[in-house]
Amino acid sequence: NAGVTQTPKFQVLKTGQSMTLQCAQDMNHNSMYWYRQDPGMGLRLIYYSASEGTTDKGEVPNGYNVSRLNKREFSLRLESAAPSQTSVYFCASSEAGVSGSMNTEAFFGQGTRLTVV
Amino acid sequence: DAKTTQPNSMESNEEEPVHLPCNHSTISGTDYIHWYRQLPSQGPEYVIHGLTSNVNNRMASLAIAEDRKSSTLILHRATLRDAAVYYCILRDLGGTSYGKLTFGQGTILTVHP
């Protein structure tokens, strides 16, 4: 069972470059999330998607865009990378949705370590 | 979002019980109490959750105060593998929150051999 798979695992970008972080889950979950974690800090929500075709901003959305390509995949795009976006990015999925669910465990990927120089 | 307060760090010896406290005085009736932990260089992983009653699973126990304004995660016998950052999170599954998790700073647990 793969769970949540993120690619790439590591990336170094130059300031101004663009890239897309990929995330896929194989648990048929409705909700997917992108978080970033800066050194010594907790995770902060960038964007989330409650269901296929919908996305919404989280706590720190500036400088990012997302696409919920289908139920499995949720990508995060940096259009013009900045050093302030150096962080570890985590994708997560869960069954929680509009109607709520008792199956509330969220599953996280292993993270993408991004450095912007 | 309702906030939680945890100690910055705690220490334990291997094979001893560990009680990790969490205060959440502004908890609402629809908030579930979740605990996640993050091992070094890994993504967070689910530990346990509860609403009103105490809960047990293979990893830990969750003790919830009667007024729900605080909770305690109990690791019955700490191992070196339990050294991690533990996050206490209030999760609202209702309305438009879509089960988002709001992470605080968490508690860094150090386990000594």
B108 to chain A nearest CA, in Å? 10
B109 to chain A nearest CA, in Å? 14
Q: What percent of chain A has pLDDT over 90?
A: 76
Mean pLDDT, chain A, whole residue set:
91
Phi, psi of B15 (to 5 degrees): 70, 10
Q: Can you read off the two tokens belonging to residue B51?
A: 């609403």
Q: Collapse the DSSP code of A23 into the 3-class scheme (helix H, G, I; strand E, B; otherwise coil) and give the result.
A: strand
Cβ A86 vs Cβ A41: under 8 Å:
no
Q: Does A117 contact B at CB distance below 8 Å? A: no
pLDDT of residue A1: 61
Comparing CB atoms, the residue among B32, B45, B102 nearest residue A108 is B45
pLDDT greater than 80 at residue B25: yes
Comparing CB atoms, the residue among A41, A100, A110 nearest residue B43 is A110
Contacts of B101 in chain A (CB under 8 A): 33, 43, 45, 92, 106
pLDDT digits (tens, 9 = 90+) for B93-112: 666 666 788 888 899 999 99
The span from the CA of B2 to the CA of A33, in Å, is: 19
3-state secondary structure A39-95: CCCCEEEEEEECCCCCCEECCCCCCEEEEECCCCEEEEEECCCCHHHCEEEEEEEEC
Distances (CA, A) of A110 to A3, A17, A19, A72, A95: 10, 24, 18, 17, 19
pLDDT digits (tens, 9 = 90+) for B43-81: 999 999 999 999 999 989 999 999 999 999 999 999 999
Answer whether B99 sits within 8 Å of A104, measured CB to CB.
yes
Q: How many CA atoms lie within 13 A of A11 on its CB side?
A: 25
Answer whether B91 sits within 8 Å of A104, measured CB to CB.
yes
Instruction: Indicate the helix (H) or strand (E) that contains A37.
Output: strand A31-37
Q: Does B104 contact A at CB distance below 8 Å? A: yes
pLDDT greater than 60 at residue A112: yes
Answer whether A45 sits within 8 Å of B102, measured CB to CB.
yes
Cβ A106 vs Cβ A30: under 8 Å:
no
Comparing CB atoms, the residue among A42, A59, A94 nearest residue B99 is A94
pLDDT digits (tens, 9 = 90+) for A85-101: 999 999 999 886 545 45
Q: Does B99 contact A at CB distance below 8 Å? A: yes
B68 φψ region: left (φ > 0), alpha (ψ -120 to 50), beta (else): left
Answer whether A101 sits within 8 Å of B93, measured CB to CB.
yes
For residue A76, give the nearest of A22, A37, A7 by alpha carbon.
A22
pLDDT of residue B106: 95
pLDDT of residue A64: 98
pLDDT of residue B91: 83
pLDDT of residue B2: 65
pLDDT of residue A51: 87
More confident residue, A50 or A24: A24
pLDDT digits (tens, 9 = 90+) for A63-82: 999 999 899 999 999 999 99
For residue A72, give the nearest of A15, A27, A7 by alpha carbon.
A27
> Please, which pLDDT band fits residue A24 given cuts at 50, 70 and 90?
very high
pLDDT of residue B95: 60
